[in-house]
Amino acid sequence: MTEIISAHQATQNLSRGFAIIDPEGVVQAVNPVLIQQTVDLGLSPVWSSIGFNMLERLKEGPYPKFSPPHTFRQLFRHFRSVLRGCAPFFAMEFTIDTPSRRSLVLELSPFIHPFSSQVEGLLLTLTDITFYKALENSLRTALGEVRTLRGLLPICAVCKKIKDEANHWTLIEEYLIRHTHAEFTHDICPDCIRTLYPEYSSILDAPDKTSDTD
């Protein structure tokens, strides 16, 4: 029979940083990921130490590597709000200015006593989203480079020039090159060949000759 994994084992194997904080703001338990995150982010190792009062440290003031600068004040305010039972949940995205700038999401969820509704502490999770932010930025850049045409385009019924935003009539090729990523090569269609070069139209009208081979 397969042994059921304990809650402690599950938290130790999470892919994100995890800590249990008591009502006074003191760290009671952490998982290896949070310990490693503390090292990678260049923070003091005490941040992931059992017995460290995280609430008091947040109250003391800013940590220079947090961005934006008001992150610490915001963290302290919401940290205390969740511990007091004034907020059901809190999530915040911020960055750490290390040589390899990291983007993270911190989430705070309260422990609620099932009978008294008293907050008995909170769960803290820290997720590194640097890869996803880089992907998001790449997609934004790619989306910004995509140019599309929308709406009504005034086009001359005779010469097929298009009237642009400055009310200038321009060749359709020039207009499309400016407003899309299209590039043009030039050819001539069969109808134009018949009109402009009737001496060659017989070639177009001749049936295809294919040689049968046994």
Q: Which residues contact 193 (CB under 8 A, 6 or more apart)?
A: 200, 201, 204
Judgement on whether residues 69 and 169 belong to the same structural domain of the protein: no
Q: What is the token pair recorded at 49?
A: 């130490």
Average predicted confidence (pLDDT) for the chain? 82
> Does residue 1 sit within a domain?
no
Q: Which tens digits make up the pLDDT trace of 32-43?
A: 999 988 888 777
Q: In which domain, by residue range, is 16 found?
A: 7-132
Determine what percent of the chain is predicted with pLDDT higher than 90. Answer: 21
Judgement on whether residues 51 and 94 belong to the same structural domain of the protein: yes
The mean-pLDDT minimum among 99-103, 112-116, 117-121, 145-149 falls in 145-149
Beta-bridge mates of residue 119: 112
Judgement on whether residues 115 and 188 belong to the same structural domain of the protein: no
> Does residue 94 sit within a domain?
yes
What pLDDT score was predicted for residue 208? 60
SS in 3 state form for the chain? CCCCCCHHHHHHCCCCEEEEECCCCEEEEECHHHHHHHHHCCCCHHHHCCCCEHHHHHHHCCCCCEECCCHHHHHHHHHHHHHCCCCCCEEEEEEECCCCCEEEEEEEEEEECCCCCCEEEEEEEEEECHHHHHHHHHHHHHHHHCCCCCCCCCECCCCCCEECCCCCEECHHHHHHHHCCCCCCCCCCHHHHHHHCHHHHHHHHCCCCCCCCC
* Side-chain half-sphere CA neighbours of 43 within 13 A: 19
Confidence of residue 68 (pLDDT cuts 50, 70, 90): low
From the list 37, 23, 29, the residue with the least C-alpha distance to 11 is 29
CATH of the domain at 20: 3.30.450.20
The mean-pLDDT minimum among 122-126, 178-182, 202-206 falls in 202-206
> Does residue 153 sit within a domain?
no
Judgement on whether residues 126 and 168 belong to the same structural domain of the protein: no
| Global pTM value | 0.62
What pLDDT score was predicted for residue 144? 74
* Average pLDDT of span 43-48: 85
Could you give the number of structural domains in the chain?
Answer: 2
What pLDDT score was predicted for residue 21? 93
Confidence of residue 211 (pLDDT cuts 50, 70, 90): very low
Q: Which tens digits make up the pLDDT trace of 164-187?
A: 888 999 998 888 888 887 888 888
> Is pLDDT at 18 greater than 60 in this prediction?
yes
Asked if 132 and 164 count as a contact pair (C-beta separation under 8 A), the reply is no
